[in-house]
Amino acid sequence: SLGSLTPDQKKSLGEIMRNGQNLLELINSVLDLAKIESGKMDLNLDAFDVVELAETVKTSLAPLIDKKQQTLTIHAQSGLPQLLADAVKVRQIFTNLIGNAIKFTPSGGEIDLFVEYHENCESLCRTHFASENIFDEVRERPAFLIRLRDTGIGIKPHEVNEIFEVFKQGDSSHTRTHSGTGLGLALTKQLVTLHSGFIVAHSEYGRGSEFKILLPQKVGNENVRSAN
């Protein structure tokens, strides 16, 4: 056994562990991005319940949410069909976005996740994703609309489109006390794109942010690379 530690030693150990965790996260993000870049990231498709997946992410992030006395509410439309997608990657998308919402929302703030299904996403594309160049093929397909809203610090208008770029961090990031790499949203966007989906951000600076994701209910075969 290590014997008992002094409070100072405990504090140092805690910092070392956090740094290790942050480094691991950084390395994993860089590796994932490199893998996607080289076209070697495969999708392992499964049919699953999106809301159940969101609930498991909520459970795993509960310690962070509780620490800041925030609330995360999942609003699910009833009778949702299953999603055919890579569950591990969709989980990663949720974890990144909800993790950011927690980070950039002050204590006591509210985070809301909405999950909707649309048989035909034409009007959805027009209202929520007008800025995106969505091919007709996706427009005609059934899709999920996933929205994550927070009551946090928000994003400045000129930064809202840049945050999906690698290593981009908002102005306000300089003053914040927590870690970050600026890779999370770049990776999130790549994972959404791998599923033929789209992600956009909106924000009222100082009041909160909203991230919206369009995910086709089934990834078309043309997007699934074979193992070789």
Applying CB under 6 A, the residues found at the interface with ligand ADP are: 100-101, 104, 150, 152-155, 163, 168-170, 172-173, 180-186, 209
Return d(Cα 129, Cα 126) in angstroms, integer: 6
Name the residue with the smallest CB distance to ligand ADP.
170
* First-to-final CA distance of the chain: 48
Q: Which is nearer to ligand ADP, 48 or 205 (CB)?
A: 205
Confirm if 114 and 54 have CB atoms less than 8 A apart: no
Taking the complex as a whole, how short is the minimal distance between the CB of residue 74 and ligand ADP, in angstroms?
A: 17
The span from the CA of 150 to the CA of 99, in Å, is 11
Tally Cβ neighbours within 10 Å of residue 42: 13
Of 197 and 216, which has the nearer Cβ to ligand ADP? 197
The smaller minimum CB distance to ligand ADP, of residues 118 and 202, is found at 202
- Nearer Cβ to ligand ADP, position 60 or 181? 181
Which of 152, 149, 134 shows the shortest CA–CA distance to 197? 134
In terms of CB distance, is 190 or 196 closer to ligand ADP?
190
For residue 60, the minimal CB distance to ligand ADP (Å) is: 17
Retrieve residue 130's tokens: 């007008």
Q: 115 with 54: CB under 8 angstroms?
A: yes
What is the closest distance, in whole angstroms, from the C-beta atom of residue 116 to ligand ADP in the complex? 20
- Closest distance between ligand ADP and the C-beta of residue 12, in Å? 24
Secondary structure of residue 204 in the 3-state scheme: strand
Beta strands 110-118 and 71-76: pairing type?
parallel
Shortest Å distance, C-beta 137 to ligand ADP: 29
- How far is Cα 143 from Cα 123, in angstroms, rounded to an integer? 11
Partners of 86 in the β-ladder: 45
The distance of closest approach from Cβ of residue 29 to ligand ADP in the complex, given in angstroms and rounded to an integer, is: 9
- Which is closer to ligand ADP, CB of 45 or CB of 166? 166
Per DSSP, helices labelled H in 38-86 are 50-67
